[in-house]
Amino acid sequence: QSPGERNYHIFYECLQGGLDDDELEKYFLSNFTAEDFRITSCSGTYDRRDGILDEETFADLISAFDTMGFSAEERFNVMAVTCALLHLSNLTLLLAVSADESEIDKSNVHLEPALSLL
C-alpha cells in the first residue's frame, strides 16, 4: 500500500462502525481495529480521504444485499470470507521445514478465527 491509500474499503467498513457488537464477536473481531491487521495497516491510513464515513457505505452495502435478494446465509458467508481475510493477513510462518515447505505458526491468535470462518 502506498502512503495515504487504504486497502479494500469493506475491511475498514467492518472494523470501523459497520458491524455491531454481536457481529464483531461472530466474526472474531471484537478485540481488533484496522490498526491490528497487516492488510489494513500497511499505509497507516484508516479514514477515507473524501470524508465519507465507513459505516454509511457499509449501510449501503447491506441495502444492496437486500436489493439483490441475498439470503441471511449468503450475507453471512460473504462477511465471513471478508473477515477471514483480515485474520489470514496476520498469519505468520515459522522457519522453513525444508526447501519446499514452511509451517504456519499454530500459536498465532488469528489462525483459529480464520479457520472457523472458512
Residue 109 has pLDDT above 90, yes or no: yes
The string of DSSP letters for 21-51 reads HHHHHHTT-TT--GGG-HHHHSSS--S-TT-
Q: What is the residue-averaged pLDDT of the chain? A: 89
- pTM (predicted TM-score): 0.87
Measured between alpha carbons, how far is 5 from 44 in angstroms, rounded to an integer? 8
Residue 7 has pLDDT above 80, yes or no: no
The predicted-structure confidence for 58-105, as pLDDT tens digits, reads as follows 999 999 999 999 999 999 999 999 999 999 999 998 877 777 888 899
- pLDDT for res 44: 66
Provide the phi-psi class of 110: left if phi over 0, else alpha when psi is between -120 and 50, else beta: alpha
The predicted-structure confidence for 49-61, as pLDDT tens digits, reads as follows 788 888 888 999 9
Task: Name the grid cell of 25.
Answer: 464477536
By the 8 A CB rule, do 43 and 5 touch?
yes
Residue 111 has pLDDT above 70, yes or no: yes
Measured between alpha carbons, how far is 36 from 59 in angstroms, rounded to an integer? 23
- pLDDT for res 1: 66
Residue 5 has pLDDT above 80, yes or no: no
